[in-house]
């Protein structure tokens, strides 16, 4: 049965893949493209108008580092706001000075998410490839002083997982009200670095216990999210609440994707806002239709009673690990290829991560 | 500022009426669909009104008993405080 396709609710605008940091856990693609390929402000404004017309209510600005296009970012925030959308800025904060922050708030920005790579300077500098700890602290404090929602984000992986108590303590000291602790997911650079980054099962379990305790203790004062990774679970994650169901992403060069990682799927051609409308991309494009709903599912998904709970898991992960975007996500214990997760969990303890940076060889 | 028992929306939380009249709470990276009564209640949260004030206004608009409504309003607002969307 094909249910009517619902309108998208949220749009992620990846304004650029440029970034001054080199975090090895970044989910951006290995091919970071060229700045000259970035679509301009006018086209982004059109994208926002189209999104609002479709019914999108949540708009995120991300990248790479979106504040590297600061003037455009302000204009886009203003347009999204004018069209009634809630606006989120997802940033590592190193360029978020008072002037930019005030301009963004003037434009109606509702929420800022700032990342830290570790709770203390040295480890943060190792992970990010550069020391920007002070500037992040400044940015956090700058935002905390203003009437805008603030979330502190820290991506967790083997190199910083043991610092989780310090991340929570750091957040408490800074008066953070929303803390997002996200176990690394393996797309893009993170996939390349997966053997170096995958936490141990013990680290993840310890993290769960720590977060449970902190949630109890900080109830009402801090909202904490601990995103569990799927590689130690039985069932896959309900990725994006289903392919082409709720959200869409537009990349720096204008491609329309059902999620930020989908360009990994080399067997799909994605529509581009330079030559098509968002409406067409969402409702009619081959890429979006390919894995929407349940009709495309192979066994065991097709007759599984979880098919509308986790939608067969993640297409990108199936492609990256099995070379087939239409296969059951190997994170599912029912997948005939579930053992590739075992290989991932057990492999290469001394792997060295590759820092994220533009590489002509990868284009 | 406001009375000790007044409620206000947390930072970056926006209440919205959809074209079809339904209410939505837009929050960091998410949305919460609201019932009509929740929407009407949150529309009255302004950092000044306390629970009896809100209940009184609702009882006028919906022709219900203010006393009874107070309990419902309290429960609703506390549930939103729990989720970080409303502050006391």
All structural domains of chain B: 8-87 (1.10.10.1150)
Q: What angle do CA B69, B72, B75 make, to 5 degrees?
A: 150
Work out whether the CA dihedral A46, A49, A52, A54 comes out positive or negative.
negative
Which residues in chain B have Cβ-Cβ distances shorter than 8 Å to A113? Answer: 28-29
Distance from CA of A10 to the nearest CA of B (A): 9
Asked if pLDDT for residue A360 goes beyond 80, the answer is no
Distance from CA of B3 to the nearest CA of A (A): 20
- For residue A74, CA distances in Å to A38, A40, A104, A141 come to 17, 14, 5, 20
**Which strands form A247-250's sheet, in the order they lie side by side?**
A223-227, A178-183, A149-156, A111-116, A86-91, A58-63, A10-16, A247-250, A256-257
pLDDT given for residue B2 in this prediction: 46
Distance from CA of B58 to the nearest CA of A (A): 27
Phi-psi region of B29 (alpha: psi -120 to 50; beta: other; left: phi over 0): left
Cβ of B88 under 8 Å from any chain A Cβ? no
Cβ count near A253 (within 10 Å):
18
Cβ of A83 under 8 Å from any chain B Cβ? no
CA distance A47 to A272: 11
Comparing A157-161, A186-190, B47-51, the range with the smallest average pLDDT is B47-51
Mean pLDDT score, A75-103: 97
Which residues in chain B have Cβ-Cβ distances shorter than 8 Å to A55? Answer: none
Q: With contact defined as beta carbons under 8 Å apart, do B47 and B2 qualify?
A: yes
- DSSP type of residue A64: S
Q: With contact defined as beta carbons under 8 Å apart, do A61 and A72 qualify?
A: no
Q: What is the ipTM of this complex?
A: 0.85
Distance from CA of B69 to the nearest CA of A (A): 24
Which residues in chain A have Cβ-Cβ distances shorter than 8 Å to B29? Answer: 10, 58, 60, 88, 111, 113, 151
* Closest Cβ–Cβ partner in B10, B24, B29 for A88: B29
Q: With contact defined as beta carbons under 8 Å apart, do A258 and A247 qualify?
A: yes
Mean pLDDT score, A176-191: 96
CA distance A266 to A248: 18
Cβ of B29 under 8 Å from any chain A Cβ? yes
Mean pLDDT score, A86-91: 98
**Phi, psi angle pair for A59, to nearest 5°:** -120, 130
pLDDT given for residue A343 in this prediction: 84
* Contact map slice: A 176-235 vs B, CB within 8 A: 177-178, 219-220, 223
Phi-psi region of A34 (alpha: psi -120 to 50; beta: other; left: phi over 0): beta
Contact flag A223-B84 (C-beta cutoff 8 Å) = yes
pLDDT given for residue B4 in this prediction: 59
Distance from CA of A8 to the nearest CA of B (A): 13
Asked if pLDDT for residue A140 goes beyond 90, the answer is yes
Cβ of A110 under 8 Å from any chain B Cβ? yes
Cβ of B17 under 8 Å from any chain A Cβ? no
pTM of the predicted structure, to 2 decimals: 0.94
């Amino acid at each position: 049965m094909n249910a009517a396709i619902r309108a998208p609710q949220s749009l992620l605008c990846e304004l650029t893949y440029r970034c001054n940091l080199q975090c090895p856990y970044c989910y951006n693609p290995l091919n970071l493209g060229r700045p000259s390929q970035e679509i301009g402000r006018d086209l982004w404004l059109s994208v926002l108008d189209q999104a609002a017309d479709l019914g999108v209510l949540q708009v995120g600005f991300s990248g790479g580092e979106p504040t590297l296009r600061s003037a455009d970012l302000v204009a886009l925030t203003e347009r999204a706001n004018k069209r009634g959308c809630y606006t989120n800025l997802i940033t590592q904060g190193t360029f978020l000075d008072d002037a930019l922050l005030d301009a963004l708030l003037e434009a109606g920005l509702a929420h800022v998410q700032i990342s830290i790579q570790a709770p203390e300077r040295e480890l943060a500098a190792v992970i990010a490839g550069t020391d920007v700890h002070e500037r992040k602290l400044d940015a956090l404090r700058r935002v905390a002083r203003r009437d805008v929602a603030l979330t502190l984000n820290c991506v967790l992986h083997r190199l910083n997982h043991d610092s989780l108590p310090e991340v929570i303590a750091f957040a408490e000291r800074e008066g953070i009200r929303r803390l997002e602790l996200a176990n690394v997911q393996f797309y893009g650079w993170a996939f390349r670095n997966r053997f170096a980054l995958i936490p141990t099962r013990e680290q993840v379990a310890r993290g769960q216990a720590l977060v449970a305790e902190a949630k109890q203790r900080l109830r009402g004062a801090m909202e904490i999210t601990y995103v569990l990774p799927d590689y130690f679970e039985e069932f896959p994650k309900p990725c994006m609440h289903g392919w082409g169901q709720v959200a869409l992403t537009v990349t720096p060069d204008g491609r329309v994707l059902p999620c930020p990682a989908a360009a990994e799927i080399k067997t799909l051609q994605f529509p581009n806002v330079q030559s098509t409308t968002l409406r067409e991309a969402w409702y009619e494009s081959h890429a979006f239709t390919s894995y929407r709903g349940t009709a495309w599912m192979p066994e065991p998904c097709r007759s599984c009673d979880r098919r509308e709970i986790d939608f067969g898991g993640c297409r990108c992960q199936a492609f990256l690990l099995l070379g087939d975007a239409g296969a059951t996500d190997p994170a599912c214990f029912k997948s005939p290829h579930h053992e590739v997760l075992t290989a991932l969990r057990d492999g290469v303890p001394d792997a060295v991560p590759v820092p994220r940076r533009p590489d002509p060889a990868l284009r | 500022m406001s009375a000790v028992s007044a409620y206000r929306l947390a930072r970056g939380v926006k209440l919205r009426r959809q074209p079809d009249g339904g209410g939505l709470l837009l929050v960091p990276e998410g949305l919460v669909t609201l019932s009509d009564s929740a929407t009407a209640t949150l529309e009255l949260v302004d950092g000044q009104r306390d629970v009896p004030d809100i209940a009184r206004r609702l009882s006028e608009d919906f022709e219900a008993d203010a006393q009874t409504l107070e309990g419902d309003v309290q429960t609703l607002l506390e549930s939103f405080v729990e989720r970080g969307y409303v502050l006391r």
